[in-house]
A = this chain, B = another copy of it.
Amino acid sequence: MAEGHGEGVVTAALLVIGDEILSGRTKDKNIGYIAEYLTAIGVDLREVRVVPDIEAEIVAAVNALRHRYDHLLTTGGIGPTHDDITADSVAKALGVSIDHDPRAVAILEERYGKADLNEARMRMARIPAGATLIANPVSKAPGFSIGNVHVMAGVPTIMQAMLDDLASRLPTGKKMLSRTIPAGMGEGRIAQGLREVQDAFPDVIIGSYPNFEPGRTGGFTTNIVCRSRDEARLIAAEAAVKALIDKLDGRPA
């Protein structure tokens, strides 16, 4: 059973598949994009994993995450080369068969022509039985959704286009709202008062994020971020944080 459900809460995990991320050769650009996107549409990203191009690792991660969250999104490993094993691994994880999908074959035939649709490119038409295709307006070879698992490309421009298609039919929840309050001081000065604000607003998630700017006195500034699905509570917590900062800065209430 998916966890973390309150009323109107929809959860997700992201599985990034690829040796190149773990070796550092490619710097992932998808985690931050997807995190921000899901937050904006009312889906809570609860966990991210990065695993290598090894079938057993992908299968284990897919099964750990798909049971635990409402949705599992994956990126990477759906191209035509021998190291693209995501579709087969997802089929294995779900215990379903996989073969050339006539809808995907038609899309690839249109793009490449029958003559150039070689065996390797046909690999991109391997889709698990029962899946829905995710459109790829950039380079055509589709992603797919099966159950609550949504398989997308790793190339950022393609992933972003696929995410737009997926999001149009993804059940979403009540949006998490947030307010960021900049504090011109290090965390050490605001921490005690902030804990008291958090205690007074247990239903608002209050986070504190230091920035290190060597040019400044002391070096640190802090952003306080309040998050809640209840706008009235969010505004009240924001006001309490601002009052705290004013007090610490010696400004009258």
Chain B residues in 8 Å Cβ range of A187: 79-81, 120
The DSSP consensus for interface residues of chain A is mixed
With A47-B51, A52-B46, A198-B82 in contact, do A191 and B123 touch (Cβ < 8 Å)? yes
- The answer to whether the Cβ of A28 comes within 8 Å of any Cβ in the partner chain is yes
In the docked arrangement, what's the CA distance between A195 and B120, Å?
9
A27 within 8 Å of B (CB atoms): yes
Q: How far is the CA of A25 from the CA of B176 in the complex (A)?
A: 12
Is there contact, CB below 8 Å, between B80 and A209?
Answer: no
A35, A53, A138, A157: residue with the most chain B Cβ atoms closer than 10 Å: A35
A157 CA / B19 CA spacing, docked (Å): 26
Contacts of A137 in B (CB 8 A): none
Chain A, residues 200-220, CB within 8 Å of chain B (1/0): the string is 000001111111100000011
Q: A47-B51, A195-B120, A212-B157 are in contact. Are A176 and B32 (CB under 8 A)?
A: no
For A50, what are the chain B residues with a Cβ–Cβ distance below 8 Å?
Answer: 31, 47-49
Which residues of B are found within 8 Å of A52, using beta-carbon distances?
Answer: 46-47
B46 touches A24 (CB 8 A): no
Nearest CB of chain B from residue A244's CB, rounded to whole Å: 12
Say whether A22 contacts B35, CB under 8 Å.
Answer: yes
Q: List 16 A-B contacts (CB under 8 A).
A: A19-B205, A22-B46, A23-B227, A24-B33, A24-B35, A26-B209, A31-B31, A48-B48, A79-B191, A80-B187, A81-B187, A82-B191, A82-B206, A83-B206, A116-B188, A124-B188
